[in-house]
Amino acid sequence: MSEVRTATGPGRVNLIGDHTDYNQGLALPLAIGLGVQVEFRPADRDEIEVTSTAFPSGAVIATTIAPDPDAIVASPRPAWSRLVAAMVALARPDSGGTLHIGTTLPVGSGLSSSAALAVALAKVFGVEGPPVVVARLCQEAERLTGVPVGAMDPLVCAGAHRDHALLIDFTTLATEQVPVPAGAGIVVVDSGYRRTLSDSPYALRVAECEAAAARIGPLGTAGPADLAGLRDPLLRRRARHVVTECRRVREVAAALGAGDLVAAGALMGESHASLAEDFESTLPAVDDLVADLVGRPGVYGARMTGAGFGGCVVALTARGAVDPHGLATPAWTVMAVDGTVAARRDGDGARTQ
């Protein structure tokens, strides 16, 4: 009788607070019902055979792989499997076996399919500990693949609560559950423009923020007066986005707590303008999609969500105000769900948590 370990890593939509996580700032994401499902069947061998419904070719990953970024990135295995290899290198599963990956998340849409996969793998590979421990390991795995991500995505994918957004302070990784008002609707719209963080300007933005921080300190804890210390206008714009975005995160959290969807929506609009103008991480098609949504009855605000350069837009609406099936590109009405769910079952289907 063979053991089967399964886990679902939820996707993530960020209500507000993008490009703040790697700057020691604030963000307010939530986990959503779309996600990545993994099924791991341990076997007495020293390699894991990996297949995915999202990609035609499989991969074979040795359980003895070293956590060496050069080796992982340069490997001849399919690029999509590098994150699996990195998780194997860090999590050290107790055996080889077969691993199958399925997803209801559109890959490259900005809904954090990579973090959803990583936290699900952490569960089936036996990683234990609170969400922050899981998130740090998953963050390191993504960095091994050459993507300098922050901790936001894996932390919310691991530690979210149903009907709540997660306010994260990245100076300490302290979190606070913020209730989403019962009358709120959250609609995610795919712009149709795909990107991966590794082939977008994401790493360049990280470097620009690091250059600004070298002059004025961590951007997430800086204030408006600190921006005067940046003579380079480009670095000043990048820093200004982070500084003002952290203020907006606090204000949106307070607005949601007070049930003020109008104020929260207006702040989301300000956030999108900052991402477009100061951070230059949107595209014209994404800007047009935001404008279209904001012009619809019952929509309080909309913005790009995630790292940008394509991907998805999130809209805060009155519940039921927008029919996702009536939009020109794929869209979903989403709800805030719990973080990673894992289970084990015997080969005959008996299930245990």
In this structure, the answer to whether residues 122 and 174 fall within a common structural domain is yes
Each residue's pLDDT tens digit, 291-324: 999 999 999 999 999 777 888 899 999 999 999 9
Taking the model in full, what pTM does it have?
0.88
Q: Which of 21, 68, 70, 153 is catalytic?
A: 153
In this structure, the answer to whether residues 24 and 87 fall within a common structural domain is yes
- The average pLDDT across 227-256 equals 98
**Would you state the pLDDT for residue 353?**
45
In this structure, the answer to whether residues 131 and 75 fall within a common structural domain is yes
Q: How far is CA 216 from CA 203, 210, 213, 223, 317, in A?
A: 20, 10, 5, 10, 38
CB 333 within 8 A of CB 46: no
User: Residue 154 belongs to a domain with what CATH number?
Assistant: 3.30.230.10
Residues 6+ apart with CB under 8 A from 119: 7, 9, 134, 135, 138, 154, 157, 158, 339, 340
Whether residue 347 has pLDDT greater than 60: no
Whether residue 248 has pLDDT greater than 80: yes
Q: What are phi and psi of 32, to 5 degrees?
A: -125, 165
- Does residue 219 lie in a domain region? yes
Which one, of 31, 11, 10, 6, lies nearest residue 190 by Cα?
Answer: 11
Can you tell me the distance from the alpha carbon of 129 to that of 57, in angstroms, rounded to the nearest whole number? Answer: 33
Can you tell me the distance from the alpha carbon of 325 to that of 56, in angstroms, rounded to the nearest whole number? Answer: 28
- Does residue 352 lie in a domain region? no
- Does residue 351 lie in a domain region? no
- Supply the range of the domain harboring residue 236: 184-334
In this structure, the answer to whether residues 217 and 157 fall within a common structural domain is no
**Would you state the pLDDT for residue 221?**
96
In this structure, the answer to whether residues 170 and 212 fall within a common structural domain is no
Local structure of 2: helix, strand or coil:
coil
Number of structural domains (the chain) is: 2
Residue 96 or residue 73, greater confidence: 96
Q: How confident is the model at residue 349 (pLDDT cuts 50, 70, 90)?
A: low
Average pLDDT in the chain: 91
- The average pLDDT across 219-238 equals 97
**Would you state the pLDDT for residue 346?**
58
In this structure, the answer to whether residues 252 and 299 fall within a common structural domain is yes
Q: Is 153 a catalytic residue?
A: yes
